[in-house]
Amino acid sequence: MATWGNMMTQDANSSLMEQLTFFHDHTIMILSMITVMVTYIMMSIMNNNFINRYLLEGQTIELIWTMLPAITLIFIALPSLRLLYMMDEVNNPSITLKVIGHQWYWSYEYSDFSNNEFDSYMKPSTELETNNMRLLDVDNRTVLPMNTQTRVVVTAADVLHSWAVPALGIKIDAVPGRLNQGAININRPGLMFGQCSEICGANHSFMPIVIESTTTENFLNWINSM
């Protein structure tokens, strides 16, 4: 998860987040090259008292500085479109998790199992244990099996919310009266923290998300114990 010592994105725990990280690095590399080149040209012009007469009203140079940005945008747009299609694609999910946003907590329903639903509230500071994260831990964690294609269906009961877990590369708007869906496939076990990412009222900052990834066997045991 993100801490005060991190300068980059969180460690990816899904194939989608890995691709988002690669795209981020790809775009930053292109922007860095553009920034260095433009800075060099500006410094050269400022420190040079001469004027290149062929640089003014030149059709060739105008064609070049029109085509280069267009080609650069293509190199950014193509992987971006590929990622957008990957984020919207849900193929043969093994498990469906329904998420309902409330003011100010989350409700979870496991649609493939009967009578498996619960509410998830933020843990008050007075109830935190030594290994809990302040303002990020919840009383009921959402357990999901790793290496399993999971469909997440998100909606809201009152106002707009947004279910976001950065380590999984997922952010789905929770809209009253509408079902939005996404897919996640967790790579390894562990805890992943998220928060509501749509301003939804006074306690918007106090409705965190905690996903606990575990093996399929442990997940089934947890489901049966509910």
Peptide bond into 104 cis (omega under 30): yes
pLDDT in tens, 151-160: 999 999 989 9
Residue 8 has pLDDT above 80, yes or no: no
Please name the amino acid found at residue 225. Answer: S
- Residue 190 backbone class (left: φ over 0; alpha: ψ -120 to 50; beta: rest): left
Task: Determine the length of the chain.
Answer: 226
pLDDT at 4 (0 to 100): 64
Q: Which tokens go with 9? A: 């994105």
Strand 95-102 relative to strand 190-196: parallel, antiparallel, unpaired? unpaired
Q: How far apart are CA 160 and CA 174, in angstroms?
A: 6
Write down the pTM of the prediction. 0.80
Contact at 8 Å (CB) between 164 and 197? Answer: yes
Residue 1's pLDDT is 56
Task: Give strand pairing partners of 17.
Answer: none
Point out which residues pair with 220 in neighbouring strands. none
The per-residue pLDDT for range 92-103, each reduced to its tens digit, is 888 999 999 999
Cα 156 to Cα 16: distance, rounded to the nearest angstrom:
25
**Structure confidence by residue, pLDDT tens digits, 113-148:** 876 889 999 988 888 888 888 888 898 899 999 988
For residue 221, is pLDDT > 90? Answer: no
Output helix, strand, coil percentages for the chain, rounded to the nearest 5: 35, 30, 35
